[in-house]
Amino acid sequence: MKAFVFPGQGAQFVGMGKDLYESSALAKELFEKANDILGYRITDIMFEGTDEDLRQTKVTQPAVFLHSVISALCMGDDFQPEMTAGHSLGEFSALVAAGALSFEDGLRLVYARAMAMQKACEATPSTMAAILALPDNKVEEICAQISSEGEVCVPANFNCPGQIVISGSVPGIEKACVLMKEAGAKRALPLKVGGAFHSPLMNPAKVELAEAINATEFHTPKCPVYQNVDARPYTNPEEIKKNLVAQLTASVRWTQTVENMVADGAIEFTECGPGAVLQGLIKKISPSANAHGVA
């Protein structure tokens, strides 16, 4: 079975999508439609902006979404997904690719999510860190210990065996990095991000996102979409909407998602979007899987 997967925030780079815009009439049309919907020329920032401009959550999320979805749609007849999934923000791309959301509604929701998250980030200083080569249960144990002491510290992304991203308050993450290294982590690397994504500190953004999602028309997707909150496949629009809201403060269970997709018959994974991060993670989770990007 063919699985299509879509990256999240962090995969962006200056120049992303420019080749698509210049070589495909469909891509150009969709990018220009996005400029109109957003009310500013996001293509200018994507194609020729600065890293700093592109790293703003309110720009990054729609930019990665656009590159991902347009890459998929420009595949023509080669784009025949039998299952889809996306990492964090990429879940919205996966839903558009599967037909659960229109391109326009997907973009509006991603922008609403990005603006709500940016506001939450600005309200409370917070951050994230990557923990390498420490068992999942040890990472969870240290996070629980720090949380019990009054700081926010939670596992945010289960990316692949031996790679977990944690999320929380600045003091909580600083303390966690020290304890993780003492416990035997190969690295505890603070990340350059706008805030504590997939943590309770995103709760303020949940209300706004829920309103936007509930006001949007969702359709039954043409194939199962494996969602981040529990790594299971969904086709029921109401369940999909509920999971999308929950995803904002829940862990991204990417390792389990890929394992479940392989168990359900996925033999070929195509990553649509900037970078090749998901291909690397998939090969670590399931070495026998065929993972590649869009040609």
Q: Give per-residue pLDDT as tens, 157-172.
A: 999 999 999 999 999 9
Cβ-proximal residues to 281 (8 Å cutoff; 6+ apart), any chain = 159, 160, 163, 254, 255, 258
In the chain, what percentage of residues exceed pLDDT 70? 100
Q: Share the mean pLDDT of the chain.
A: 96
For residue 120 the two structure tokens come to 């939450």
The structural domains of the chain, with segments of one domain joined by +, span: 2-121+200-293, 125-190
**Rounded-to-integer distance, Cα 86 and Cα 104, Å:** 18
Task: Give the residue ranges of DSSP H helices in 87-135.
Answer: 90-97, 103-123
Q: How far is CA 112 from CA 188, 215, 220, in A?
A: 32, 12, 22
125-190 CATH: 3.30.70.250
**Rounded-to-integer distance, Cα 232 and Cα 29, Å:** 34
pLDDT higher than 70, residue 232: yes
For residue 205 the two structure tokens come to 């953004």
To which CATH superfamily is domain 2-121+200-293 assigned? Malonyl-Coenzyme A Acyl Carrier Protein, domain 2 (3.40.366.10)
Residue-wise pLDDT for 117-134, tens only, equals 999 999 989 999 999 999
**Kind of pairing, strands 2-6 and 268-271?**
parallel
Predicted confidence at residue 193, as pLDDT, reads: 82
pLDDT higher than 90, residue 251: yes
Contact criterion met (CB below 8 Å) for 117 and 207 = no
- Active-site residues, by number, are 88, 198
pLDDT higher than 90, residue 56: no
Contact criterion met (CB below 8 Å) for 95 and 223 = no
For residue 181 the two structure tokens come to 């290294």
**Rounded-to-integer distance, Cα 27 and Cα 10, Å:** 22
Residue-wise pLDDT for 32-45, tens only, equals 999 999 999 999 99
